């Protein structure tokens, strides 16, 4: 026996802890565990919510760019104004300025509004004439010059309406905002409503957004991404032709042939550092080396392509090397064993086997280059370009824009209609990127081989 | 363009050389092809390469001379002819060398090896180009502007008529402030996302969450910039800045920082994923076997073991944030200020590089040249961060291999 005080009664001592009942410490630890798990799930939730909000805000804001309001009215193409000499010769007719077409169009709009028996108090002359876009008369002119026989006839035309009216049907412009806006008025919007009821104003899918070039500040309704798509395409062409061969060749050397010495160490460190250099620094390099030193033209796709090539090279090299590394050494040994040279073993056996991986990496590198903006700003791609570049190779030296730069350009304009255009251009860009990534995933699933 | 014609002509010449070389080799071999040292296609290829190499060397040399203004534009036509002549000479020489004992394969392989080495040194040339162009123009800038004023000046007011104050400190402050906010957003979220995905998530959750986060990584920065401009900026202004009386500006440090943080989440999470997976399973098993809960294992065993890697990842993310351009151009504003209010518009080094170098540039004015000095500063900062980060990551990897 001990001297310790014994429990008074004969009941069994109450155990301090039990596996069945959690004590405070265990409960605290389990609560901490649960909290930690919740943080993790919360982090993923935040990331997913951010993604969803980002995409919905861009797509919601940009979907409007793909729909556009048109006014369809009959226009009497007055022969005396449009073809004063009366011989229907396009060369002589081209001396007639867009202004005259604007007057013809004005008369037609007046007539259409007059004949439709719309009664709106305080409707001014300016409200009626500014209903159609400033771009509409140029469109009409192009159509007539392409087909001079139209002169003298009355033709049905579909012309763009003013960006404010278009914005009214998309909910961007309201009666209240119109009252404060010098470019439109509530009366004009009422007129637009009335015309819409009569079926003269229609909102439909807007192919012109994809095919048109950029338009000036006052006519957002006519702006499109045609030149930008073509410019981006040209740049991708340059990147594909330069970055892929150079990148693959460099990777083959570094992975298969390079001796382990100081020089190759320098190259390796260099490539991994280049991959992390901010893209804008490549823009400075492009400006200093290609434009100031080499004298290449500004805003040319070839310069953009060269800059993007230098930028994507590290990405392509890193992924190509991973693909080459994944080919097992037994393939090389077998080729060498039957008498192939090292060069033959690489080019005849290793490279074809690594091809799917190389292609996947290349497409991802290209997708990265397609979305890159900052370096292109510095080599003058922000310039306002309305002419489509010519076919390559000369077209590579013509001024052009690029999709992401066009987006930036539109965000710098005053009219809020351009914000919708910018989001629309981003949708186009994202569709391209989506297709490229899909292709990369498909290639990886279809051809990737596990050793 | 006469040079492109010359290039096309020499390519045709090379194709012809290939065909001639191959058929000559067959003719030399006669009935027994085994008497040749190399297979006929190598003879063809060697002739083609010998045609192409001198022509291209002449063209490259001429282009370089032209860029250095040592050659007048009129001489370009002559250069084309010269290149073609070099090509023809190479063709002739190549054909004369064909014979049974000629080691055509070795010659071809040596030339191809030369091409491979040249391609791999383009990375070095790029770096050299960056460093030279930055240093060269920065030197011009410091001839016109005192370098002490540049590095220690607290005022940034470029003026067209000259006499500008071009101090980098407000820009540096804006850059660091925005990057700090971005890291405060991205590092915890990215780390927790990576931990959850590698330690807790079921296969189905991982199958959805991982690609979704990768999508976030594939979105171009201009999209984030627009997001900041049209959604995040106005939202922060209307719901936080104006009710709190802290500012009226849509573009602010917080806008740019938040959006940049979102952009960095996938970057941090994929880096952390690598790092966490590099910690040996045995360490985890040991901790779990001693009775710690999974979260205790992560906090007290995995993360301390992965600490150097985590530090490296944070440094890499910081270097990304400092060099990021489009988000700050569209989200942060253009006012160079030294302030603490996160709802105020501030500006960064990259924004000012863009604004000083777009439009009509006068490469004699310090207002334009300052962009190169800013670029050099940016390059040095990011390079330093990268080198340190890569060093730490590499050191740490060796530890467990």
Q: Domain count of chain B?
A: 2
**For chain B, first and last CA: distance in Å?**
56
Co-location of B49 and B186 in the same domain: no
The H or E element spanning position A201 is strand A201-205
pLDDT in tens, B316-326: 999 999 999 99
Q: Which of residues 325-354 of A touch B (CB under 8 A)?
A: 341, 343
Q: State residue A1's pLDDT score.
A: 47
Co-location of B314 and B180 in the same domain: yes
Residue B153, min C-alpha distance to chain A (Å) = 23
Q: State residue A89's pLDDT score.
A: 76
Residue B325, min C-alpha distance to chain A (Å) = 6
Burial letters for B143-175: b for 16+ Cβ neighbours within 10 Å, e otherwise? eebeeeebeebeebebeeeeebebbbbbbbbbb
**Cross-chain CB nearest to B119 (options A246, A285, A371):** A246
Cβ contacts of B215 on chain A, cutoff 8 Å: 51
Q: Which of residues 134-163 of B touch A (CB under 8 A)?
A: 134, 136-137
**Cross-chain CB nearest to A267 (options B121, B322, B325):** B121
Co-location of B61 and B111 in the same domain: yes
The three-class DSSP label of residue A161 is strand
How many other CB atoms are found less than 10 A from the CB of residue A212? 18
> Is the CB of residue B76 less than 8 Å from the CB of residue B66?
yes
Would you call A29 an interface residue with chain B, using a CB distance cutoff of 8 Å?
yes
The answer to whether residue B133 is domain-embedded is no
**A110-119, B21-30, B59-68, B382-391: the lowest-pLDDT one:** A110-119
pLDDT band at B154 (very low <50, low <70, confident <90, very high): confident
Residue A64, min C-alpha distance to chain B (Å) = 15
The answer to whether residue B7 is domain-embedded is yes
CB-based contacts of B375, cutoff 8 Å, min separation 6: A280, A281, A284, B134, B353
The H or E element spanning position A82 is helix A79-82
CA closest to A377 among chain B residues: B358
Residue found by looking up tokens 């002119």 in the block: A141
CB-based contacts of B291, cutoff 8 Å, min separation 6: none
Tell me if B383 and A279 make a contact (CB, 8 A cut-off).
no
For A396, what's the count of Cα atoms within 13 Å in the CB-facing half-sphere? 17
Question: How is residue B65 written in tokens?
Answer: 């001379």
* A292 burial type by CB count under 10 A (0-12 exposed, 13-18 middle, 19+ buried): middle
The answer to whether residue B102 is domain-embedded is yes
Angle at B196 between CA B193 and CA B200, to 5 degrees: 165
Co-location of B166 and B225 in the same domain: yes
Average pLDDT over residues B271-280: 86
> Is the CB of residue A176 less than 8 Å from the CB of residue A90?
no
| Strand-strand pairing, A201-205 and A67-76 | antiparallel
Would you call B222 an interface residue with chain A, using a CB distance cutoff of 8 Å?
yes
Paired with B206 in beta bridges are none
Would you call B216 an interface residue with chain A, using a CB distance cutoff of 8 Å?
yes
As for the ipTM of the complex, it is: 0.89
pLDDT in tens, B336-346: 888 888 888 89
Helix axes B122-144, B104-120, angle to 10 degrees: 30
Question: In angstroms, rounded to a whole number, what is the distance separating the alpha carbons of residues B231 and A61?
Answer: 10
Which of B73, B100, B120 marks a domain boundary?
B120
Burial letters for A153-192: b for 16+ Cβ neighbours within 10 Å, e otherwise? eeeebebbbbbbbbbbbbebbeeebbeeeeebbbbbbbbb
Strands (E), B245-364: none
Co-location of B106 and B183 in the same domain: no
The answer to whether residue B151 is domain-embedded is no
> Which of B11, B104, B116, B229 to substitute to test the interface with A, most A CBs within 10 Å?
B116
CA closest to A61 among chain B residues: B230
Closest CA to B229 of A54, A174, A382: A54
Q: What's the domain range around B71?
A: 2-120
The answer to whether residue B178 is domain-embedded is yes
Q: State residue A57's pLDDT score.
A: 92
Q: State residue A11's pLDDT score.
A: 58
Burial letters for A247-270: b for 16+ Cβ neighbours within 10 Å, e otherwise? bbbbbbbbbbebeeeeebeebbeb
Co-location of B230 and B377 in the same domain: yes
For A361, what's the count of Cα atoms within 13 Å in the CB-facing half-sphere? 23
The answer to whether residue B147 is domain-embedded is no
Co-location of B176 and B113 in the same domain: no
pLDDT in tens, B70-107: 777 677 778 888 888 998 999 998 888 888 888 889 99
> Which of A32, A43, A365 to substitute to test the interface with B, most B CBs within 10 Å?
A43
Tell me the CATH number at B387: 1.10.3720.10
| Strand-strand pairing, A201-205 and B165-166 | unpaired
Domain coordinates in residue numbering, chain A: 66-206, 226-447
Tell me if A281 and B375 make a contact (CB, 8 A cut-off).
yes
Residue A185, min C-alpha distance to chain B (Å) = 26
Co-location of B320 and B181 in the same domain: yes
* B338 burial type by CB count under 10 A (0-12 exposed, 13-18 middle, 19+ buried): middle
Q: What is the pLDDT along chain A (451 residues), one digit of tens a residue?
A: 455 555 555 556 665 667 778 788 888 999 999 999 999 999 999 999 999 999 999 998 888 888 888 888 888 887 777 777 777 777 777 777 778 888 888 888 888 777 777 777 777 777 777 788 888 888 888 888 888 777 878 888 888 888 888 888 887 888 888 887 777 788 888 888 888 888 788 888 888 888 888 888 888 888 889 999 999 999 999 999 999 999 999 999 999 998 888 888 888 888 888 888 999 999 999 998 888 888 888 888 999 999 999 999 999 999 999 999 999 999 999 999 999 999 999 999 999 999 988 999 899 999 999 999 999 999 888 878 888 888 777 788 888 899 999 999 999 888 888 888 999 999 999 999 999 999 988 888 888 777 6
Question: In angstroms, rounded to a whole number, what is the distance separating the alpha carbons of residues B390 and A61?
Answer: 41
Fold of A226-447: MetI-like fold (1.10.3720)
Residue A421, min C-alpha distance to chain B (Å) = 12
Tell me if A273 and B262 make a contact (CB, 8 A cut-off).
no
The three-class DSSP label of residue B286 is helix
Cβ contacts of A53 on chain B, cutoff 8 Å: 231
Co-location of B95 and B51 in the same domain: yes
DSSP secondary structure string for all residues of B258-274: HHHHHHHHHHHHHHHHH
The answer to whether residue B294 is domain-embedded is yes
Residue found by looking up tokens 């906010």 in the block: B181
Co-location of B293 and B198 in the same domain: yes
Question: How is residue B235 written in tokens?
Answer: 């939202």
How many other CB atoms are found less than 10 A from the CB of residue A397? 18
Provide, for chain A, the percentages of residues in helix, strand and coil under a 3-state DSSP scheme, each rounded to the nearest 5: 65, 5, 30
Residue B93, min C-alpha distance to chain A (Å) = 25
Question: In angstroms, rounded to a whole number, what is the distance separating the alpha carbons of residues B299 and B314?
Answer: 17
Residue B230, min C-alpha distance to chain A (Å) = 8
Which of B92, B120, B148 marks a domain boundary?
B120
Contacts 24+ apart (CB under 8 A), B287-294: B293/A29, B293/A30, B293/A32, B293/A33, B294/A33, B294/A36, B294/B199, B294/B200
Question: In angstroms, rounded to a whole number, what is the distance separating the alpha carbons of residues A117 and A115?
Answer: 5
Cβ contacts of B115 on chain A, cutoff 8 Å: 249
Cβ contacts of B190 on chain A, cutoff 8 Å: 43
Would you call B219 an interface residue with chain A, using a CB distance cutoff of 8 Å?
yes
Paired with A154 in beta bridges are A76
The answer to whether residue B130 is domain-embedded is no
> Is the CB of residue A407 less than 8 Å from the CB of residue A425?
yes
pLDDT in tens, B222-273: 999 999 999 999 999 999 888 888 888 888 999 999 999 999 999 999 988 8
> Is the CB of residue A251 less than 8 Å from the CB of residue A324?
yes
């Amino acid at each position: 026996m001990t001297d310790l005080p014994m429990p008074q009664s004969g009941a069994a001592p109450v155990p301090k802890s039990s596996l069945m009942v959690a004590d405070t410490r265990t409960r605290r630890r389990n609560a901490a565990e649960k909290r930690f798990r919740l943080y993790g799930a919360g982090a993923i939730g935040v990331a997913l919510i951010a993604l969803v909000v980002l995409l919905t805000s861009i797509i919601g804001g940009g979907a409007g760019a793909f729909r556009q309001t048109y006014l369809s009215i009959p226009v009497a193409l007055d022969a005396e104004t449009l073809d004063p000499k009366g011989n229907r010769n396009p060369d002589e007719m081209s001396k007639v300025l867009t202004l005259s077409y604007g007057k013809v169009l004005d008369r037609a709009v007046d007539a259409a509004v007059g004949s439709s028996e719309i009664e709106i108090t305080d409707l001014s002359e300016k409200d009626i004439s500014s209903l159609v876009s400033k771009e509409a008369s140029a469109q009409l002119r192009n159509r007539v010059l392409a087909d001079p026989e139209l002169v003298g006839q009355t033709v049905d035309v579909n012309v763009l309406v003013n960006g404010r009216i278009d914005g009214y049907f998309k909910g961007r412009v309201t009666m209240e905002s119109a009252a404060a806006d010098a470019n439109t008025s509530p009366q004009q919007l009422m007129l637009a409503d009335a015309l819409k009821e009569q079926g003269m104003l229609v909102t439909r899918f807007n192919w012109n957004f994809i095919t048109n070039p950029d338009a000036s500040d006052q006519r957002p309704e006519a702006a499109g991404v045609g030149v930008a798509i073509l410019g981006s395409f040209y740049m991708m062409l340059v990147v594909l032709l330069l970055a892929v061969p150079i990148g693959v060749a460099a990777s083959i050397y570094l992975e298969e042939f390079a001796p382990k010495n100081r020089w190759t160490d320098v190259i390796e460190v260099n490539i991994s550092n280049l991959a992390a250099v901010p893209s804008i620094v490549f823009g400075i390099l492009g400006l200093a080396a290609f434009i100031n030193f080499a004298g290449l033209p500004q805003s040319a796709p070839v310069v953009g392509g060269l800059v993007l090539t230098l930028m994507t090279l590290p990405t392509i090299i890193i992924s190509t090397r991973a693909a080459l590394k994944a080919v097992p050494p037994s393939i090389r040994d077998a080729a060498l064993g039957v008498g192939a040279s090292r060069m033959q073993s690489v080019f005849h056996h290793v490279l074809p086997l690594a091809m799917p991986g190389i292609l996947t990496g290349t497409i991802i590198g290209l997708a990265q280059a397609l979305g890159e903006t900052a370096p292109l700003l510095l080599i003058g791609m922000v310039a306002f370009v309305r002419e489509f570049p010519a076919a390559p190779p000369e077209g590579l030296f013509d001024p052009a824009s690029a999709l992401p730069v066009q987006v930036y350009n539109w965000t710098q304009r005053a009219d809020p209609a351009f914000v919708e255009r910018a989001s629309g251009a981003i949708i186009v860009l994202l569709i391209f990127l989506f297709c490229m990534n899909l292709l990369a995933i498909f290639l990886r699933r279809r051809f990737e081989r596990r050793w | 363009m006469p040079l492109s014609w010359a290039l096309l002509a020499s390519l045709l010449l090379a194709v012809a050389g290939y065909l001639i070389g191959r058929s000559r080799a067959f003719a030399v071999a006669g009935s027994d092809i085994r008497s040749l040292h190399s297979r006929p296609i190598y003879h063809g290829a060697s002739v083609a390469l010998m045609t192409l190499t001198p022509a291209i060397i002449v063209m490259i040399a001429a282009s370089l001379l032209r860029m250095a203004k040592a050659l007048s534009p009129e001489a370009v036509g002559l250069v084309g002819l010269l290149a073609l002549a070099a090509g023809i000479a190479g063709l002739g020489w190549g054909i004369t060398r064909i014979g049974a004992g000629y080691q055509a394969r070795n010659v071809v392989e040596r030339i191809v090896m030369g091409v491979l080495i040249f391609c791999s040194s383009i990375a070095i040339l790029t770096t050299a180009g960056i460093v030279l162009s930055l240093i060269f123009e920065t030197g011009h800038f410091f001839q016109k502007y005192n370098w002490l004023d540049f590095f220690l000046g607290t005022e940034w007011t470029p003026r067209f008529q000259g006499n500008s104050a071009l101090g980098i400190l407000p820009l540096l402050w804006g850059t660091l402030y925005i990057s700090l906010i971005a890291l405060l957003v991205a590092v915890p979220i990215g780390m927790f996302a990576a931990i959850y995905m590698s330690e807790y998530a079921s296969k189905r959750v991982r199958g959805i969450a991982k690609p979704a986060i990768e999508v976030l990584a594939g979105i171009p920065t201009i999209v984030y910039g627009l997001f900041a401009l049209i959604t995040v900026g106005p939202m922060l202004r209307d719901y936080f800045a104006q009710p709190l009386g802290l500012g009226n500006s849509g573009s602010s440090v917080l806008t740019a920082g938040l959006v940049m943080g979102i952009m960095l989440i996938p970057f941090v999470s994929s880096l952390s994923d690598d790092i966490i997976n590099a910690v040996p399973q045995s360490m985890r098993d040991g901790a779990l076997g001693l009775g710690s809960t999974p979260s205790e294992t992560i906090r007290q065993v995995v993360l301390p073991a992965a600490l150097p890697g985590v530090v490296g990842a944070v440094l890499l993310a910081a270097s990304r944030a400092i060099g990021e351009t489009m988000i700050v151009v569209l989200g942060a504003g253009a006012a160079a200020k030294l302030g603490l209010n996160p709802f105020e518009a501030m500006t960064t080094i990259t924004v000012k590089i863009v604004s000083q170098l777009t439009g009509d540039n006068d490469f004699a004015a310090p207002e334009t040249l300052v962009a190169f000095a800013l670029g050099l500063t940016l390059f040095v900062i990011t390079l330093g961060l990268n080198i340190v980060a890569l060093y730490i990551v590499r050191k740490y990897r060796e530890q467990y291999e």
